[in-house]
Amino acid sequence: MNDTTEGPTRAGFAALIGEPNAGKSTLLNRMVGAKISIVTHKVQTTRARIRGVAIEGQSQIVFVDTPGLFKPRRRLDRAMVAAAWGGAADADVVVLMIEAHRGISEGVKAILGKLDEIGQGRTVALAINKIDKVKAETLLALTKDMNEAYAFAETFLISAERGHGCDALRNWLATRMPEGPWLYPEDQIADLPMRMIAAEMTREKLTLRLHQELPYELTVETESWVEREDGTARIDQIVYVARDGHKGIVLGKGGETAKAVSKAAREELEEFLGRRVHLFLQVKVRPNWLEESERYSEMGLDFKDGNA
């Protein structure tokens, strides 16, 4: 039981929405205090709605990091955008993140248009990110224009990367959560299965290593996770690519790219889990993986949402 002087416990969902690369994953990781969402400079890296759990006083805030909202072209794109809006529609509070230096882009205008519908009956806040990239007067003008475009409950000026303004946002969100028991155990920081977090870590390392060469039509799945008696874990993962040429890119000369990716992912996993891990990667060509419902399930997306 909680001490009554501390007030009631609160728990709820806060959805982070915005264009690709707005900084949602970086903010989620900072709010939770651990790296649970893939962070790269390549757009559309967050494919599933990743939930991170933060505790602020008596409040438990479950952050839903959604895929960036953009104009979908393919099945995977459509499923990602459906997941993003679904995350916002299920949340108690929605936080729209925009980049200070990009201002009110066409993408932001499109999101503002949809907010009239999605914001009904829920609190919507604005977080202007990367504030260190613009002058104060530009920031003030952007804040004014955005609040004229939509009646935000609150506006926060932040730098998700540096942490500026993030505490104020988290404190405010804590007060906006509905009263009720906590939804997750105190020591749980994410509701993604560890298998998926491990796959995301490997996919991030591939993205960072390959940059422009990286085929977007690539996914990583954790095929097996075996706990060993000595306290270590053996993790087998498969990297699915759509074409033979992509397999060569991922493997690299003499397999050196795959080895380097495997080593970097293993080290990060070991740090995350606090124990030794044996990670084994395989690269397989599956020309039609973008049309296989099982691949979508592994990414936490709904295959049906990709229908045109």
The pLDDT value given to residue 221: 87
What is the pLDDT averaged over residues 228-249?
88
Q: What's the CATH number for 194-306? A: 3.30.300.20
Name every residue whose Cβ is closer than 8 Å to that of residue 124 and which is 6 or more positions away in sequence. Answer: 93, 94, 95, 96, 115, 150, 152, 153
Residue bearing the bigger pLDDT, 17 or 143: 143
Stronger pLDDT, 86 or 70, i.e. the higher one: 86
| pLDDT value at residue 44 | 45
Residue spans in the chain of domains classed CATH 3.40.50.300? 4-176
* Average pLDDT, integer, range 32-60: 64
pLDDT at 173 over 90: yes
Q: Does the CA dihedral 186-64-192-179 come out positive or negative?
A: positive
- For residues 192 and 106, the model is more confident at 106
Query: What confidence score (pLDDT) does residue 89 get?
Result: 63
141 has pLDDT over 90: yes
Whether the pLDDT of residue 142 is over 90: the answer is yes
State residue 45's pLDDT score: 46
* Average pLDDT along the chain: 80
Split at pLDDT 50, 70, 90, the class of 297 is low
In this prediction, what percent of the chain has a pLDDT beyond 90?
A: 34
Residues contacting 166, CB < 8 A, separation 6+: 27, 30, 31, 158, 159, 160
pLDDT band per the 50, 70, 90 thresholds, residue 294: low
Q: Which pLDDT belongs to residue 41?
A: 45
pTM of the model: 0.61
Query: What are 82-96's pLDDT values in tens digits?
Result: 665 565 667 889 899
- Four-residue CA torsion sign, 80, 19, 13, 270: positive
Q: Write out the residue limits of the CATH 3.30.300.20 domain(s) in the chain.
A: 194-306
Of 45-49, 174-178, 222-226, which gets the smallest average pLDDT?
A: 45-49
DSSP string, the chain: ---GGG---EEEEEEEEESTTSSHHHHHHHHHTS--S---SSTT---S-EEEEEEETTEEEEEEEPPPP----SHHHHHHHHHHHHHHHT-SEEEEEEETTT-S-HHHHHHHHHHHHHTTTSEEEEEEE-GGGS-HHHHHHHHHHHHHHS--SEEEE-BTTTTBTHHHHHHHHHHHSPBS--SS-TT--B-S-HHHHHHHHHHHHHHHHHGGG--SSEEEEEEEEEE-TTS-EEEEEEEEESSHHHHHHHH-GGGHHHHHHHHHHHHHHHHHHTS-EEEEEEEEE-TTGGG-HHHHHHTT--GGGG--
Contact by Cβ (8 Å): 298, 47:
no
- Out of 3.40.30.10, 1.20.1250.20, 3.40.718.10, 3.40.50.300, which CATH number does the structure's domain 4-176 have? 3.40.50.300
- Rounded average pLDDT over 136-146: 95
